[in-house]
Structure 1
């Protein structure tokens, strides 16, 4: 089911399947890409309870081995929802017998979408409903439409940074890094940057990035309190994903234990976790 929220400036549509943002429209322009399955069949999946791929698509916990697909299961599950107002909707997912077979924990996941003037605020709320520590990752994966020549775009960050990207091979970190060329804290985009996989930054001072077409600012993503950032597209695809993460894919030498996985959040029993990204349309 598609749910629509709007204010005087923006309209957003979200699918109850995966609580996935489908469109974000201002002045009849959609800033989220329109799906073309030649490239990808998603627009903005919610990554939970893992980000990226597990080594061998499996992990161990308390001596038992579980299978869990890339980016977890939330993106493929039906959420319930409560439309709080014309401009806000909150989606909810709780554990099921199906999820407990592959992730043996009790949780509540809420996704709140709120329009505020030129901004869409997306909140990620996790409650540990287990009687033990909840190990999890969560992340955003919005794909923004690229309507011009890809090389005309750039990403401008709001702080001085060393843009060290961590290399992936078969979707696992291999322990190799390189520095991405920048000028005035901006990365000039070209498809060659993504020949092997995403750019993954583990240590940034920046908490905002602006997508520009030539010198014109298109939109800004604020990802305060997300420690990792992925940037991704496919060759010749008309989108760019800006992905704030609280979690990471496995390294090739990971021992498979969920509680020892890099980037995991360890939420005590009964406690809550909240993060938010803000997408501001600047045109």
Structure 2
């Protein structure tokens, strides 16, 4: 099942499974979201919760019990309920259940709110701790933007001048190895060679937005003021690019399985609500 929202400039389609954005089009029918061809990658824009990336041994312990969580968590595989719908907005929700408690022993509600305003799609996350103790979690976005034509015709531009140091993955975990990107006028030309070792993972950035350009022409901008970390990723020879604002990232090899001590983790106190928002601006 899907829900469509629209305004005078854009329309967006969201699949209830995973509350996943599967289409963002202009009123001229130009599509900006990756089609999800499984020959490359069968997703469009999954929501990463309650972890981002991979846990060491895909497990953690809490209260002397070991729990198992697969890469990026379970929210992307759950059926969300549509709890509010207007012409230009939709709110989706999941709550903890007997099944989620087997993997993640915390009572929660996760809401995803999509809102179209002019040339922007805002995507807000609300995490509510319904339990009686602090709750560790990460949350992140994974939108894939369609890049038709030659990949090398595209580039990305960071909002600010900065040292672009990213961390390398080893066996899906964050290593201590880093590399630096050399930007000219804040821009990085896109090549598949950039992603030969998987995603580019920035634990911190000064920039609050990232722009995709085609032949030097800006086509879209992702604003992520609330988010401390960012991943950039594609598959070899695939015509898309993922720009992924995150609260958290994969484990390091030094992690010992305590989520409360995990690098990048968020701790939400009982009955508190966490909110964050990013947006996609069509240029």
* Counterpart contact for 2:201–2:231, Cα < 8 Å: yes
Q: CA deviation at 1:175?
A: 0.7
* Counterpart contact for 1:174–1:252, Cα < 8 Å: yes
* Counterpart contact for 1:95–1:108, Cα < 8 Å: yes
Alpha-carbon distance in structure 2 between the residues aligned to 1:59 and 1:180: 33
| SS across alignment from 1:151 | helix
* Residues 227-250 of structure 1, C-alpha deviations (whole Å, 9 max, x = no match): 000000000001100000001100
Q: CA deviation at 1:148?
A: 2.0
User: Structure 2 matches for 1:1-283, cutoff 5 A?
Assistant: 1-26=1-26, 27-282=28-283
Alpha-carbon distance in structure 2 between the residues aligned to 1:153 and 1:62: 49
Structure 2 unmatched runs, 5+ = none
Alpha-carbon distance in structure 1 between the residues aligned to 2:71 and 2:254: 18
What is the root-mean-square deviation of aligned Cα atoms in Å?
0.7
* Counterpart contact for 1:52–1:248, Cα < 8 Å: yes
Alpha-carbon distance in structure 1 between the residues aligned to 2:89 and 2:256: 42
| SS across alignment from 2:21 | strand
Q: CA deviation at 1:204?
A: 0.7
* Residues 202-247 of structure 1, C-alpha deviations (whole Å, 9 max, x = no match): 1210001110001110000000120000000000001100000001
Q: CA deviation at 1:64?
A: 1.2
| SS across alignment from 1:29 | coil
* Residues 127-178 of structure 1, C-alpha deviations (whole Å, 9 max, x = no match): 1101000100000000000102111111101111110010101110111101
* Counterpart contact for 2:226–2:278, Cα < 8 Å: no
* Counterpart contact for 1:33–1:43, Cα < 8 Å: yes
Alpha-carbon distance in structure 2 between the residues aligned to 1:175 and 1:113: 36
TM-score by length of 2: 0.98
Alpha-carbon distance in structure 1 between the residues aligned to 2:83 and 2:57: 37
* Counterpart contact for 2:167–2:201, Cα < 8 Å: yes
- Runs of 4+ deviating beyond 2 Å: none
Equivalent residue pairs, number: 282
* Residues 99-127 of structure 1, C-alpha deviations (whole Å, 9 max, x = no match): 00010000010000000010000001101
| SS across alignment from 2:47 | coil
Alpha-carbon distance in structure 2 between the residues aligned to 1:25 and 1:163: 31
Structure 1 unmatched runs, 5+ = none
Alpha-carbon distance in structure 1 between the residues aligned to 2:78 and 2:67: 19
* Counterpart contact for 1:61–1:259, Cα < 8 Å: no
